Amino acid sequence: MIQDRNGTLWLFWARLIVVSLTVQYYALFTKTSYNMGATWSSETQLTNTSTSVDSYMPSAAQSSYGTKSLWLFYSSNLNEPTYDIYALMSSGISPVHDVDLSAIHASNNLGTFWEYPGGLKSIGQSAIVTVSITVANVGDYGESINLSLTATNKTSTSLGTKTSFVGPGASVIVYYYWNTSGIKPARYGFSATVTPVPGEAYGNTFDNTLSLSNQTRIIPLGDVNQDGSIDIIDAGVCLAHFGWKDSSYYLLKYSDVDNAGYIDIIDVGVVEVNFGFVS
């Protein structure tokens, strides 16, 4: 079985044809499906040269040249007694419409996997997580695309819809800028969908959606060591260094929630309020 570049499924097989007790041979057959196997065409016999000729071992390949036909290679004893490799070629499978989602990547301005909700000024972390979506056009037409993105946890948060253009055989990166202010600390994934373009076959739409889990982690304020939880370590750092300048110990910048330049009652209070929280 093979799926061609227009999303059509092709099934090829060899069948033993019994003419009589003494006459039998193998022939090749095929059938196709345009809806990912929900229904199939009637079968078609591909080889029928002689009752003394066998055709075995069909193997199909999608060409990427010229009209981009489908090639079927098989073994046959047409020149008896030896078996040789023969090939059949379909009509051209071109031009087609086909856009794919190929990648999702999330990062903040510090390049870290973790992000404080709204960022953290004391370490220079902004409130924005940048999510880049790569859309590839493996078809033969330039396409105008509509792309939507959702941040996912137990619930989903829509990050909006954007439009772009991608040329044939090219790809485009679309950027989303997620403001994490007020976002609940948790692990978040992303689900992107590019709307099928006009003329895109049903079989080519299954890669129009891409969902990846655990792409970024929003951690609670007061999480000094960025392990996603507020525990005795975080509390200990704040209490042991109360009143210290945040430049005097490398972890204190992560404790300085209000960016006052030192560890004060606000920072200790944040740790106390969030103590025991796990994102």
Does CATH place domain 99-218 in 2.60.40.10?
A: yes
Q: What is the pLDDT of residue 206?
A: 95
pLDDT digits (tens, 9 = 90+) for 31-60: 999 999 999 999 999 997 677 789 999 999
* Alpha carbons 200 and 193: distance in angstroms, whole number: 14
Confidence of residue 23 (pLDDT cuts 50, 70, 90): confident
What whole-number percentage of the chain has pLDDT above 70? 99
**Which residue ranges make up each domain of the chain?**
2-89, 99-218, 232-274
Radius of gyration of the chain (CA): 30
Q: What is the pLDDT of residue 186?
A: 95
Contact 215, 106 (CB under 8 A): yes
pLDDT digits (tens, 9 = 90+) for 158-207: 999 999 999 999 999 999 999 999 999 999 999 999 999 999 999 999 99
Q: What is the pLDDT of residue 79?
A: 84
Confidence of residue 19 (pLDDT cuts 50, 70, 90): confident
* Alpha carbons 242 and 158: distance in angstroms, whole number: 40
In a 10 Å sphere around its CB, with 0-12 CB exposed, 13-18 middle and 19+ buried, how is residue 160 labelled? exposed
